[in-house]
Structure 1
Amino acid sequence: MSGANQSSVSEFLLLWFSRQPQQQQQLLFGLFLSMYLVTVLGNLLIILATSTDSHLHTPMYFFLSNLSFVDVCFSSTTVPKMLANHILRSQSISFPECLTQMYFFTVFADMDNFLLAVMAYDRFVAVCHPLHYTTKMTPQLCALLVIGPWVTGILNALLHTLLMVRLSFCADNRIPHFFCDVSALLKLSCSDTHLNDMMIFTEGSLIVITPFSCILVSYICITCAVLRVPSTQGKWKAFSTCGSHLAVVSLFYGTIIAVYFNPSSHSSETDTVATMMYTVVTPMLNPFIYSLRNKDLKRALRNVMCGKRVST
């Protein structure tokens, strides 16, 4: 097969939104616009709170601010295009724009995976090695734990995008989704996609399974450490430091498992709804989950909204 892209398709049609009944489209537009605005506002407030309050200049909140930034970018990769197409009465997305959307979607999805694993490791050190927390979680290590995922995510997305560029798209350009998903594009290709499929099931799966395994191991160690705490109050205090992160992990990976590991979930409609959960709903809920029972973060958010800056 030629390495050059021989595509005769100059654009794709994103059909999911337009396939909904007209009245339902208006409702969905308002719903997605509201969710997107809440996502952006909520996560930007988290970033502002953690950066302006010196009491929150700790590894946990450093990773949280990075997660908030990634969540804003994650939603911005897909939702604005879907809303713009509805306003313009258009379904089209150009071939380069489609590949660009796929690239950034992969980058930010990978970053969510890795950052959740990094935050699990941070909670593991805080609970299992509290006396050595400051010496273990140094600024250099924290920076490395963020830069490493960025490099890995960018290279992984670049790999899958370059593999997609080499394919040919001959006739059908209809994508039954609200964004350019890798699997949807592969189904439209008239080229041999064996290499793409193999890389998704090997390298792509490794990108997801490795962080998830790290999270599981971290929480197994945390659970064992907490169970050794003699007092019930001590156990509850230790678990409460992990509750918000565990809720986000459950929401994010629960929907991914529902899409990719449930044999009965093969319809495009079901998969699209489940995909919306971890691409749109989860980034919106993260700020609420992390601030719900966190007194320090709630205080910092109040200071941000009141225009105060807290310093030591």
Structure 2
Amino acid sequence: MSPLNSAYFTNGSIVHPDFFYISGLAGIPLTNYYYVFLSFVYAVTVLGNTFVMFVIYTDHCLHSPKYIAVFNLAVSDLFGSTALIPQLIDTFLVKSHLISFEACLTNMFFVLGFLTVQSFTLTVLSYDRCVAICFPLRYNEIVTHKSMAVIIAMLWIISGIAFVIAILFISRLSFCKSTVINSYFCDHGVMYRLACNDNTPSSVIHWTHPLLILWFPVLFITGTYLCIARALLKIAAASERLKAMKTCTSHLILVSVFYLPMCISVALGSIIHQNARIINMSLSTVMPPMLNPIIYSLKTEEFTECIKKLYRRKMIHIAVTKK
């Protein structure tokens, strides 16, 4: 029996450990440099996503259904990174590998919950681009502020319910064996396998979550871009076709950055070394929230123009103040 465990009752009572030990990156060499890198990533993530939210909030030109979704992506990126990176740095850099049972479940809920919201938001943005290009004359009728707000609210509700259910089943498991989590956070898939009682419901949930977070969104986004490609082929003028394609550039880059690393990790599975898998999954979790605001700022013409307008307004204000 691990000394971390609470007392074990032989009459079938549920056994919860006082603490879990997150081993994660502990066996990987030169990890101190990785934590410096993570600190940089987190700083850029906070500044970038806060800036995106500020620009969308202050510029009325961006108060459109599309930018409701972009604002939501920035919110989920910011809070998702905050749920993961500071805990990750504290766990391994400060050598505080122990995390209480309740804190571990909280960490799982927020990290995976915000990851799901990010995935769903990218799916919503693909829907927005599909309607804008395939049904341009009906776009304002189909994609309204109200409909987008309802969609965003629903994806938060679905994400919350999914992981509340997951945590409820985890809380019904007994951990009377190992309390070592071989991951960089309280990963659901690793945790439920540590249980010594029937973990079938958690196993089903574990195999369902990739469908919810990864495969359904990827299939939906692929379908929307097939529809977009078909619509573009019907546009006679090459200049108009190119203009329509440019509106999808930023979203396609976001999709590639977010889904490709996860798809590679899932596809390779046990083929790659555990340390390589952990590094790849941690990077695929922390990098998209940092890159998303940079991509939108540089690749979205409408957003770039709003930044320039805010800058010119600020310069005029400074000039007037000096006078």
Partner residue in 2 for 1:163: 169
2:225 equivalent to 1:219:
yes
- Post-superposition Cα deviations, 1:194-250, rounded to whole Å, max 9, x if no partner, equal 221122324652454333222121111001001111122111111110111011112
CA contact (8 A) 1:113 1:212 kept: no
Structure of larger gyration radius = 2
Partner residue in 2 for 1:295: 301
CA contact (8 A) 1:42 1:284 kept: yes
Q: Secondary structure at the match of 1:93?
A: strand
Flag the 1:206–1:39 CA change in 2: closer, same or farther, 3 A.
closer
CA contact (8 A) 2:21 2:99 kept: yes
Aligned letter for 2:303? Answer: L
Partners of 2:98 and 2:183 in 1: how far apart? Answer: 12
Q: Secondary structure at the match of 2:21?
A: strand
2:239 equivalent to 1:233:
yes
Greater shift after overlay, 49-58 or 184-193? 184-193
Flag the 1:178–1:5 CA change in 2: closer, same or farther, 3 A.
farther
2:17 equivalent to 1:9:
yes
Within the candidate set 105, 124, 131, 2:137 is matched to 131
Within the candidate set 9, 20, 27, 2:28 is matched to 20
Partners of 1:304 and 1:166 in 2: how far apart? Answer: 53
Partners of 1:75 and 1:183 in 2: how far apart? Answer: 20
Greater shift after overlay, 114-123 or 5-14? 5-14
Greater shift after overlay, 215-224 or 167-176? 167-176
Partner residue in 2 for 1:261: 267
Q: Secondary structure at the match of 1:12?
A: strand
Flag the 1:175–1:245 CA change in 2: closer, same or farther, 3 A.
same
Aligned letter for 1:164? Answer: I
1:71-86 paired onto structure 2 within 5 Å: 71-86=77-92
CA contact (8 A) 1:9 1:171 kept: no
Partner residue in 2 for 1:150: 156
Offset of residue 42 of structure 1: 0.5
Aligned letter for 2:44? Answer: V
Offset of residue 52 of structure 1: 0.5
Partner residue in 2 for 1:273: 279
CA contact (8 A) 2:16 2:101 kept: no
Aligned letter for 1:119? Answer: L
- Post-superposition Cα deviations, 1:54-113, rounded to whole Å, max 9, x if no partner, equal 111112211111001101111111110121234533211111000011111221121112
Partners of 1:106 and 1:90 in 2: how far apart? Answer: 22
Aligned letter for 1:301? Answer: I
- Post-superposition Cα deviations, 1:122-145, rounded to whole Å, max 9, x if no partner, equal 001111111111111111101111
Aligned letter for 1:276? Answer: S
Partners of 1:299 and 1:231 in 2: how far apart? Answer: 25
Partners of 1:95 and 1:226 in 2: how far apart? Answer: 53
CA contact (8 A) 2:35 2:93 kept: no
Q: Secondary structure at the match of 1:185?
A: helix
Partners of 1:9 and 1:65 in 2: how far apart? Answer: 39
1:187-198 paired onto structure 2 within 5 Å: 187-198=193-204
Within the candidate set 244, 248, 258, 2:250 is matched to 244
> What RMSD, in angstroms, separates the aligned Cα atoms of the two structures?
2.2
Within the candidate set 87, 100, 105, 2:106 is matched to 100
Partners of 1:304 and 1:32 in 2: how far apart? Answer: 30
Partner residue in 2 for 1:209: 215
Q: Secondary structure at the match of 1:140?
A: helix
- What TM-score does the superposition give when structure 2 sets the normalisation length? 0.88
Offset of residue 270 of structure 1: 2.3
Q: Secondary structure at the match of 1:262?
A: helix
Partners of 1:17 and 1:274 in 2: how far apart? Answer: 11
Q: How many residues align?
A: 305
- More RCO (CA 8 Å, sep 6+): 1
2:65 equivalent to 1:64:
no
Partners of 1:302 and 1:91 in 2: how far apart? Answer: 45
Aligned letter for 1:105? Answer: V
Partners of 1:5 and 1:36 in 2: how far apart? Answer: 41
Q: Aligned residues: percent identity?
A: 30
Partner residue in 2 for 1:89: 95
- What TM-score does the superposition give when structure 1 sets the normalisation length? 0.90
Offset of residue 266 of structure 1: 4.7
